[in-house]
Amino acid sequence: GAVVSQHPSWVICKSGTSVKIECRSLDFQATTMFWYRQFPKQSLMLMATSNEGSKATYEQGVEKDKFLINHASLTLSTLTVTSAHPEDSSFYICSASWVRNSYNSPLHFGNGTRLTVT
């Protein structure tokens, strides 16, 4: 149980284009999903917290207009990297907790999306 599916697994795009990444909870409802960014051999940096039916909460230093997050349903959150540039190339991972209102719940991660901007 608690499977999180992320799509696509990898994407190559040209500078200036936008890329959408989907994160789905397959067998549970995720009222909250989290988007992380990870550089090679580095830690996971939280970008934003995605709340179903409301605006996402962004971490300090993360551009809201560049990384658009939508959480339209209890099983789907999307991250759109707008006007991508080479410096946006990274590994993006979503995660979700499946237990509502419990800060003890573990995170279940998607497989991640490796974005390369040329």
Partner 1 sequence: GQQVMQIPQYQHVQEGEDFTTYCNSSTTLSNIQWYKQRPGGHPVFLIQLVKSGEVKKQKRLTFQFGEAKKNSSLHITATQTTDVGTYFCAGRLGGTSYGKLTFGQGTILTVHP
Closer by beta carbon to partner 1, 28 or else 109: 109
Cα 83 to its chain centre, rounded Å, is 17
Residue 67: CB atoms within 10 Å: 20
Closer by beta carbon to partner 1, 82 or else 91: 91
Residues in contact with partner 1 by the rule CB under 8 A = 32, 34, 41-46, 49, 57, 93, 95, 97, 101-112
CA distances (Å), origin 35, targets 14, 49, 71, 96: 22, 6, 11, 9
Closer by beta carbon to partner 1, 49 or else 82: 49
